Structure 1
Amino acid sequence: MHKIIKIALLVVGLIGALLWFMLPEREMPASEAVNSGAMNGMFIITYILLAFAVVASLIFTLKNLFSNPAGLKKTLMVLGGFVVVVIIAYVLASGTDVSVEEMASRGIETSESTIKKIGMGINVFFILTLIAVGSLIVPAVKNMFSK
């Protein structure tokens, strides 16, 4: 298996090097360079390698997650906490942060529910930031007073 992966990576590397030398010249207009076959080939190789990396990392993560029951329990608790944070953020979002009419006058069609979802995202960011900062400050203060 290790030899097959090495050979596949060597082939992909050679194809990438060949496509690199086939890229359009610097003087070519960008509108024409985008339609270059070499450029499209490099993008295809990038997407294939990215998909392979994502699938491999998901497989190994899930394999390790399900092989360790304590880790699975901790992961489910963290996911549950994240769902609670999202629900709290959705409840706190008012949906009236931006005027729907003003957005429509600028050519952006939106609704109150879309604005509420955006507010929820901002609230999730702030809540998670507070949790992260708190998780850094609380142990430092405990260490400072325990000595």
Structure 2
Amino acid sequence: MNNKILTLLVAAISLIGIALFVNVVRIDPEETQALSDAVSPLVSYSYYLLIVIVIVAVVISLLSMFKNPAALKKTLLGILALGVVFVVSYFMASDSEVIGADGGQLVAAGSISKWVGSGIRFTIVLGAIAGAFFVVDLLKGIVKS
């Protein structure tokens, strides 16, 4: 029964999206106001659909984790490890001013540049860890064959 309801729900969502898309396609590209009026509902529909999907996915994931304590423990350890990596990245980041290619100041010294630097360093560290695991897995595959 749930499969039929889900199939009907997906079909209805798809038909609404197709109808909104056809509404945009049928308008002459030269009529900018009419085109803007037709695109606006499609963008709003997509935006709200994305919000609903994210909420449903997060709620289902949380319910699944709480039903399985071992998975909850692994998830919390993973989040803790990411938190530690981010804290280290934050303390490694500089809060000096950001200078553009033309020599002009893009961002003044302070918290914004510190957070951006933290995000960049966090990404670099996670990329390095992922690269290391990739190389280790590659070497394991070579040794096994």
TM-score > 0.5, shorter chain as reference: yes
Aligned equivalent of 1:116: 114
SS state at 1:87 partner = helix
In structure 1, runs of 5+ residues without a counterpart are: none
Q: Whole-Å Cα distance in 2 between the matches of residues 5 and 46 of structure 1? A: 19
How many pairs align?
140
Compute the TM-score of the two structures, normalised by the length of structure 2: 0.76
1:12 CA drift (Å): 4.3
- Does residue 92 in structure 1 map to residue 92 in structure 2? yes
In structure 2, runs of 5+ residues without a counterpart are: none
Aligned equivalent of 1:27: 30
Indicate the larger mover: 6-15 or 116-125: 6-15
Deviation above 6 Å: which 4+ runs of structure 1?
Answer: none
Counterpart mapping for 1:56-75 below 5 A: 56-75=56-75
Residues 95, 117 of structure 2: 8 Å contact kept: yes
1:116 CA drift (Å): 1.6
Structure 2 CA distance for partners of 1:97 and 1:125, relative to 1, 3 Å: farther
Q: Whole-Å Cα distance in 2 between the matches of residues 135 and 8 of structure 1? A: 41
Residue-by-residue CA offset, 1:49-86 (whole Å, 9 max, x unaligned): 21221111111111111111111111111100111111
Counterpart mapping for 1:1-147 below 5 A: 2=2, 5-23=6-24, 24-29=27-32, 32-33=33-34, 35-36=36-37, 38-96=38-96, 98-99=98-99, 102-103=104-105, 108=106, 110-142=108-140, 144=142
Structure 2 CA distance for partners of 1:22 and 1:136, relative to 1, 3 Å: closer
Residue-by-residue CA offset, 1:78-102 (whole Å, 9 max, x unaligned): 1001111111111111223635994
Structure 2 CA distance for partners of 1:39 and 1:145, relative to 1, 3 Å: closer
